[in-house]
A and B are shown apart, each in its own frame.
Chain A
Amino acid sequence: QITLKESGPTLVKPTQTLTLTCTFSGFSLSTSGVGVGWIRQPPGKALEWLALIYWDDDKRYSPSLKSRLTITKDTSKNQVVLTMTNMDPVDTATYYCAHFPADMVRGVYLDAFDIWGQGTMVTVSS
């Protein structure tokens, strides 16, 4: 059974750096054919993809936020960490991490997030 859980501060001040941790179980990021992504959702608004890291440490970032984001993995701890610099009140949102699987028989990624964490709400305010 795959589970993911986000953790981090609930309140950050403008200009500060946000660090969020996704702790997962049921799979390993050292195994081929898997990734973990981050997605956020401002209150009452749509989903916005942020970043994705693959088992082989390949990384993808949202073009509009790339300069502010860093995604890393710690396979020994089963964790993925997302850092976002220069936080602003518009970054107030629920942040989700999610499992990005592959079909190992066909050798292709499913191009979808199949299991999501419960999300963590981050408020940016002075």
Chain B
Amino acid sequence: QSVLTQPPSVSAAPGQKVTISCSGSSSNIGNNYVSWYQQLPGTAPKLLIYENNKRPSGIPDRFSGSKSGTSATLGITGLQTGDEADYYCGTWDSSLSVVFGGGTKLTVL
């Protein structure tokens, strides 16, 4: 059971927009930055978003992040088949540990 709650799966058609939620509490998301990772099949995770809404160099602006209270959201616009992957949110917890969500599998129909 992960500390952060994500929907197990989401799906949308190519070209459409999808959002993935990440729910936590005041001991983690509520008082810390959220990051998002993309894990393509058979590969290591890749950082998409840090500090709630910042994109590392090379990450297209189709990917966006936001945070409100104890929840965070990853948005992906202009969906491509290559976006099919597992997506994870992460943050710090008041126990001074890093916590991740359970992951969300994105299917591009």
Report A's interface with B, CB cutoff 8 A. 37, 39, 46-49, 52, 60-63, 96, 110-119
Contact = CB atoms under 8 A, between A and B. Distances in A.
A114 B50 contact: yes
Interface residues of B, number: 25
B45 A47 contact: yes
B64 to A, nearest CB: 16
A39 B44 CA distance: 11
A110 B101 contact: no
Contacts of B45: 39, 47, 96, 113, 116
A111 B47 contact: no
A80 B35 CA distance: 23
B97 interface: yes
Majority secondary structure of chain A interface residues (helix, strand, loop or mixed): loop
Contact of A116 (B44, B56, B97): B44
B24 interface: no
Interface of B: 2, 32-33, 35, 37, 44-47, 50-51, 56, 88, 90-92, 95-103
A43 B2 CA distance: 16
A-B pairs with lowest CB-CB distance, top 10:
A112-B35, A112-B50, A49-B98, A116-B44, A47-B100, A111-B33, A46-B103, A46-B102, A114-B47, A110-B50
A30 B47 CA distance: 24
Contact of A118 (B44, B56, B90, B96): B44
Contacts of A63: 95, 97
Contacts of B33: 110-112
27 contacts: A39-B100, A46-B2, A46-B88, A46-B103, A47-B37, A47-B90, A48-B100, A49-B90, A49-B97, A49-B99, A52-B98, A60-B97, A61-B97, A110-B33, A111-B33, A111-B35, A111-B91, A112-B47, A112-B51, A112-B90, A113-B35, A113-B37, A114-B47, A114-B50, A114-B56, A116-B44, A116-B46
